[in-house]
Structure 1
Amino acid sequence: MAKLIYVTNVSIDGYIEDEKGVFAWLPPDDEVFTFTTDLLRSAGTFLYGRRLYESMAVWETDASLAARSDLMAEFASVWQVADKIVYSTTLTTTATARTSVERRFDPAAVRRLKATAGSDITIGGADLAAQAIRAGLVDECQLIVWPTTVGGGKPGLPTGVRTDYEFLGERRFRNGVVLLRYRPLAD
């Protein structure tokens, strides 16, 4: 069975974006970028909320990104070969190949996907991940913690939900970023 892995960048104070909805506070870094590319390479399907999908679609729709460096070209290639499922009540078409739209998050459908997938699945977007966490579907959280605080905004993990986690490991990067890996404990 494939694992459903929630991967997100967060500030030290736990936010994925600031109060203005901006997540551009993340400084670019080749080491972290390469790690993220390798992490996504291991997944065959990406589950996205609409906003995250629209920000990631540029890796297929804007060829100038891949032309900037070999690292960016590799990331674009990895992103493009994966299947994408976008959960949106407003999106009617997608700008990228290998992409489908679902109107609502269906835990039973995600369970079936996990049971039949040949490789792991990542989920991105705090609101979508919160639904999966509440449904008990997330097998691992990988938090890429950046050395900054933003003071408020959208939290990376759901509020109002109690979940205990087992620590799986960490990885430290030269720029002060730390990857923290956790597995939710069964109720």
Structure 2
Amino acid sequence: MGKLIYAAITSLDGYIEDRDGGFAWAMPDDEVHSCINHLQEDIGTFLLGRRMFQTLQVWEEFYGKTDLIKVMRDYATLWHGTDKVVFSKTLDEVSTSRTRIERVFDPEAIRRMKADADHDLSVGGAELGATALRAGLVDEIHLFISPVMVGGGKAALPEIKETRLDLLGQQHFGNGVVHLHYAVRNG
């Protein structure tokens, strides 16, 4: 059985995007990127909303390029080798490997995916992550908190009923980013 993991790079005040939709302030340095790569190694399937998929699909173009730094080559290899499910009502086709489109995010179908999985699953994007959290599907949360406050934008975590978490780990990086790892107490 696989776990469903939600991970996000967020500002200190809890946003993944600023008011203008920007996130340049969230770009990980090599040390943080290496940690994120390590977390992705056990993921067998990425569950992605359309916007997150369109942001990340550039990694397909990076796959196999030898002129990139190691952390980028490593992530491109992870991206290319991982199954991807894109939840979109408007996307008609995808050009990335191991990718399929689903029109509806069905919590019961995700529960079955988790039950049948040999590896963990990752849910990406604040809106899709919020849907999975509200459905009680998320088992772990990884937040990479950047040392910046952006004052508004898209929240990393949804408004949700009280949810208890257990701290599983924490790590700080030289650039001021702090990684917090929690287990979600579902039920």
TM range (shorter): over 0.9
| Preserved contact between residue 20 and residue 153 of structure 1 (Cα < 8 Å) | yes
TM-score by length of 2: 0.95
Counterpart mapping for 1:23-62 below 5 A? 23-62=23-62
- The aligned residue for residue 111 of structure 1 is 111
C-alpha distance in structure 2 between counterparts of 1:127 and 1:91, whole Å: 16
Structure 2: gaps (5+ residues)? none
Cα distance in 2 for partners of 1:134, 1:54 equals 24
Q: CA deviation at 1:11?
A: 0.5
CA–CA separation in structure 1 for the residues paired with 2:70 and 2:62: 15
In the alignment, what sits opposite 1:135? 135
Q: Which runs of 4+ in 1 moved over 3 A?
A: 62-66
Corresponding residue number in structure 1 for 2:73: 73
State how far apart, in whole Å, the 1-side matches of 2:56 and 2:66 are: 13
Amino acid at match of 2:74: E
RMSD: 1.5
Gaps of 5+ in 1: none
- Normalised TM-score (structure 1): 0.95
Within 1, Cα distance between the matches of 2:123 and 2:44?
11
Name the residue aligned to 1:152.
Answer: 152
Matched pairs, number: 187
Q: Percent identity?
A: 47
Could you tell me how far 1:24 is from its partner in structure 2? Answer: 1.3
Measured in 2, the distance between the counterparts of 1:4 and 1:172 equals 24
Following superposition, the deviation at residue 181 of structure 1 comes to 1.0
Q: Deviations over 1:9-47 (max 9, x none)?
A: 000000000011111112441100111111111101101
